[in-house]
Amino acid sequence: MLATERYLLDEMTQLERHVFEDHYFGCEICAEDIRVARLMKEGVRGGLLGTSRQSRWRPIEVLPWAAAATLALVVGYQTLGPTKVPGAGGEFAAQAVAPITLRPATRGQLPRVNPGAAGEAVVLAVDVARGTGELEYDLRAPSGNSLASGRVPGPAAGAPLFLLVPSRILTAAGDYTLVVRNATDRADSSSEQFQFSVNAAVTDKR
Question: Interface residues with another protein (CB under 8 A)?
Answer: 2, 4-6, 8-11, 21-22, 24-27, 31, 33-50, 52, 55-57, 82, 145, 147, 168-169, 171
Nearest by Cα to 37 from 69, 3, 76: 3
Classified as helix, coil or strand, 139 is: strand
Residue nearer to another protein on the CB measure, 27 or 98: 27
As a whole number of angstroms, the distance between CA 148 and CA 100 comes to 18
Residue nearer to another protein on the CB measure, 146 or 190: 146
Residue nearer to another protein on the CB measure, 56 or 107: 56
Residue nearer to another protein on the CB measure, 31 or 98: 31
Classified as helix, coil or strand, 41 is: helix
Nearest by Cα to 160 from 64, 91, 27, 86: 64
As a whole number of angstroms, the distance between CA 203 and CA 186 comes to 34
- Closest CB 156 distance from another protein, rounded Å: 32
- Closest CB 163 distance from another protein, rounded Å: 18
Beta-strand runs (E) in 27-132: 61-63, 73-74, 96-97, 100-102, 112-113, 121-126
Write the DSSP string, 111-124. PEE---STT-EEEE
Nearest by Cα to 163 from 175, 174, 147: 147
- Closest CB 143 distance from another protein, rounded Å: 10
- Closest CB 144 distance from another protein, rounded Å: 12
- Closest CB 197 distance from another protein, rounded Å: 19
As a whole number of angstroms, the distance between CA 102 and CA 100 comes to 6
- Closest CB 22 distance from another protein, rounded Å: 6
Residue nearer to another protein on the CB measure, 145 or 184: 145
Residue nearer to another protein on the CB measure, 60 or 161: 60
